[in-house]
Amino acid sequence: MTDKPTIDQWAAAATKEVKGKDLTWHTAEGIDVKPLYTAEDVTTDPGLPGFAPFTRGVRASMYAGRPWTIRQYAGFSTAEESNAFYRRNLAAGQKGLSVAFDLATHRGYDSDHPRVTGDVGKAGVAIDSVEDMKILFDGIPLDQMSVSMTMNGAVIPILAFFIVAGEEQGVDRKLLDGTIQNDILKEFMVRNTYIYPPEPSMRIISDIFGYTSREMPKFNSISISGYHMQEAGATQVQELAFTIADGMEYVKYGVASGLDIDKFAGRLSFFFAIGMNFFMEIAKLRAARVLWHRAMTTLGAQDERSKMLRTHCQTSGVSLTEQDPYNNVMRTTIEAMAAMLGGTQSLHTNALDEAIALPTDFSARIARNTQIVIQEETGMTKVVDPLGGSYYVEALTQQLVDAAQEIIDRVQSEGGMAKAVAAGWPKAMIETAAAARQARVDRGDDVIVGVNKYRLKDEDLLETLDIDNAKVREGQIARINKTKANRDEAACQAALKALRDGAAGESSIENNLLALAVEAARARATLGEISSAMEESFDRYGTQPTPVKGVYGAPYEGDARWQQVLDGVAAVERRMGRKPKLLVAKMGQDGHDRGANVIASAFGDMGFDVVSGPLFQTPGETVVLALESGVDVVGASSLAAGHKTLIPELIGKLKEAGRGDIKVIAGGVIPPQDYQYLRDAGVQGIYGPGSNVVECAADVLRLLGHNMPPLDADQAA
């Protein structure tokens, strides 16, 4: 009988095969992944599914008893268009609704507000009143359908509209089933669709906890979201730690407002991103359940349901590529499998074209069917936690638990997540990770197939969904006017006054903001009116981006192409007598600022003088800032489909000011079909998803008159 080989013998054989190369994988999370795991690496017992600490799943039977809910996130244009889309998807096998609202709605503006001309209906459905909400769910019985709504800033009017729409459909609010995101802390960190400052925003969350715990026993009052953190550049450890810490903060606020922890904690849910690091994502969901059980025990929960982390997941948007986009079908499939193997309760799969536009019916069907095929054809759902006991998965789960706990402990030692967010260090940590990731991609250290390796010589254009923003806005304004004309104005104003007074007073059952907003919604107050009533007491919040420094440039030390760009910037500086100056502008109501921050950081590291404009500017405000700052170039960052409205308006206003010489470039989520439209409008450089930032800088130098050498073959490789 042959002796069993030892680990040392394996190590010797592997080392010989790879000629001594170190096979350890040093991940972005700071975790060193070994090439082989054995039983000795498993230091904890994961237990059994359905039992504390729920490492292996929150239900004993998991998918063998019932698969996860297929819940596709969608919403665009008008309530009528979105309703038709929902009904088609439900007929084709979708099990729950997940509503995407447009940016005007997110930010508490009615569609007729002058600040949202380019945003209405573009990246979600426009909802201005109860009438829109009723149309959105027309023919969809709200006592039988679980509805998830991604809403944070304007959460009070949207939830009030939903409650009243249910009532007028004949459904008591006690029967309403679903989830409202209601997670404002992550908005202050990464997504930025906030309205009010942090303190009143936390009061809103507490009031929603109180109302739903009393009135809506089937409804989840918050979905604590890490998704947007990973999309903004966070590592999985950062996403995990900050999401759990956010959840702890919300529980503390709920308890401080007088709620029994075990009366509301069981209705909390979570929302995580699932990216391309397959086993890391599986381990992350398992680690999240361990950490939440630990956190809730610490906070005093007694009921095991209060300690049970239930989560929705969505495949990554940032992993999708404009280049060779059919690869995105495979990416989404891999990510969906990771979510399933990690034990999610519901899942949204992104469509192949979402790197550049809203999904078409064709691409949405492929995305939805990805989940159906996994459920129906693969046999994956027949076994509970099939990766439980894997040496690698169990060891990686524990490493993630330990690494995330260190960050959570820091948050708690500094007074909790609200104070950490106010101090700004979580946001800075995520932006640093984002800049480092972009540098690795641009250098080719992190491979993205079809983007920085195996790139196609010629790209086929995808047919994309295009929303007629002007037509949608015109229709919404007509409905707003009709709603106002038909309402009892005195009753509406009385309800708005009661809400205004409630916001000015202390939180209580009588002064509950959601309860007061429900009365205003019944009286046909609009979303903008309800938001403004609270804004009079709470004020409107804004922040100024502060790009990180040195992170993007550090990996490029000694790189020939990087040095060419540095030399080019220096040459332009000698000619102009100052550094070339770039304004990074975010126009419209889109708060996703990862791309803008990465560009600002990278161009700063390359020697440009960079001005980071505030979020939510109008084209006119951007022109004023450009003139005051004396910039040479305005870089318009667009991720929410407003580029065909906002960027031409910017160029027109620069010309009106006599500064048509200022170059305008555009980057972000822009369909290639729109490139010529923007060029005709005067855009001089367009850089879509997957663009190499160093090459973008080289192109900007050419626009400024510097004879920048082209990328040679060796550098391209």
Mark whether 237 and 373 lie in a shared domain: yes
The total of other beta-carbon atoms located within 10 Å of residue 499's CB is 29
Closest-CA residue to 503 (of 156, 128, 130): 156
Task: Quote the pLDDT of residue 659.
Answer: 96
On whether residue 245 sits in a domain, the answer given is yes
Given a contact cutoff of 8 angstroms between Cβ atoms, the answer to whether 57 and 385 are in contact is yes
Task: Quote the pLDDT of residue 303.
Answer: 95
Distance of CA 226 to the CA centre of its chain: 8
| Integer angstrom CA distances of residue 233 from 270, 334, 393, 463 | 19, 20, 23, 28
Determine how β-strand 32-33 pairs with β-strand 25-26. Answer: antiparallel
Mark whether 216 and 77 lie in a shared domain: yes
Q: 132, 246, 353, 590: which is the annotated catalytic residue?
A: 590
Measured CA to CA, the distance from residue 602 to residue 257 in angstroms comes to 44
- Provide the residue range defining the domain that includes 600: 560-704
Mark whether 566 and 426 lie in a shared domain: no
Measured CA to CA, the distance from residue 468 to residue 644 in angstroms comes to 10
CATH number of the structural domain spanning residue 347: 3.20.20.240
Closest-CA residue to 62 (of 308, 266, 421): 308
Task: Quote the pLDDT of residue 88.
Answer: 87
Measured CA to CA, the distance from residue 290 to residue 674 in angstroms comes to 47
Given a contact cutoff of 8 angstroms between Cβ atoms, the answer to whether 347 and 227 are in contact is no
Question: Is 109 an annotated catalytic residue?
Answer: no
On whether residue 649 sits in a domain, the answer given is yes
Closest-CA residue to 431 (of 603, 696, 189, 610): 189
The total of other beta-carbon atoms located within 10 Å of residue 443's CB is 16
Task: Quote the pLDDT of residue 509.
Answer: 87
Question: Is 454 an annotated catalytic residue?
Answer: no
Tokens of 415: 């007074």
Q: Which of 416, 443, 470 is the last residue of a domain?
A: 443
CATH number of the structural domain spanning residue 686: 3.40.50.280
On whether residue 692 sits in a domain, the answer given is yes
On whether residue 676 sits in a domain, the answer given is yes
Task: Quote the pLDDT of residue 73.
Answer: 72
Q: 86, 194, 227, 687: which is the annotated catalytic residue?
A: 227
Question: Is 592 an annotated catalytic residue?
Answer: yes
Task: Quote the pLDDT of residue 688.
Answer: 84
Which of the 8 DSSP states describes residue 74? E
Question: Is 687 an annotated catalytic residue?
Answer: no
Given a contact cutoff of 8 angstroms between Cβ atoms, the answer to whether 31 and 406 are in contact is no
DSSP codes of every residue in 90-149: HHTT--EEEEEBPHHHHTT--TT-GGGTTTTTTSSB---SHHHHHHHTTTS-TTT-EEEE
Tokens of 160: 């009030």
Mark whether 429 and 575 lie in a shared domain: no
Q: 228, 643, 644, 706: which is the annotated catalytic residue?
A: 228
Q: Which of 443, 478, 493 is the last residue of a domain?
A: 443
pTM of the model: 0.91
On whether residue 3 sits in a domain, the answer given is no
In tens, the pLDDT along 375-411 reads 999 999 999 999 999 999 999 999 999 999 999 999 9
DSSP codes of every residue in 404-468: HHHHHHHHHHTT-HHHHHHHTHHHHHHHHHHHHHHHHHHHTSS--BTTTBS--SSPPPPP-----
Q: 106, 186, 592, 643: which is the annotated catalytic residue?
A: 592
Phi and psi at residue 7, to the nearest 5°: -60, -40
Task: Quote the pLDDT of residue 391.
Answer: 97
On whether residue 683 sits in a domain, the answer given is yes
On whether residue 23 sits in a domain, the answer given is no
On whether residue 52 sits in a domain, the answer given is yes
Measured CA to CA, the distance from residue 694 to residue 17 in angstroms comes to 37
Q: Which of 443, 469, 485 is the last residue of a domain?
A: 443
Mark whether 148 and 293 lie in a shared domain: yes
Task: Quote the pLDDT of residue 716.
Answer: 43
Give the total number of structural domains in the chain: 2
- Residues of the chain whose pLDDT is less than 70? 1-2, 74-76, 640-641, 711-717
Task: Quote the pLDDT of residue 228.
Answer: 93
Question: Is 63 an annotated catalytic residue?
Answer: no
| Integer angstrom CA distances of residue 395 from 9, 25, 31, 53, 392 | 22, 15, 11, 16, 5
Q: 37, 41, 73, 138: which is the annotated catalytic residue?
A: 73
Residue 367: partners with Cβ closer than 8 Å, 6 or more residues away: 72, 332, 349, 350, 351, 352, 359
Q: 586, 643, 653, 706: which is the annotated catalytic residue?
A: 586
Question: Is 253 an annotated catalytic residue?
Answer: no
What percent of the chain clears pLDDT 70, i.e. is strictly above it?
A: 98
Residue 492: partners with Cβ closer than 8 Å, 6 or more residues away: 520, 523, 524, 525, 529
Given a contact cutoff of 8 angstroms between Cβ atoms, the answer to whether 552 and 693 are in contact is yes
Q: Which residue(s) pair with 453 in the sheet?
A: 449
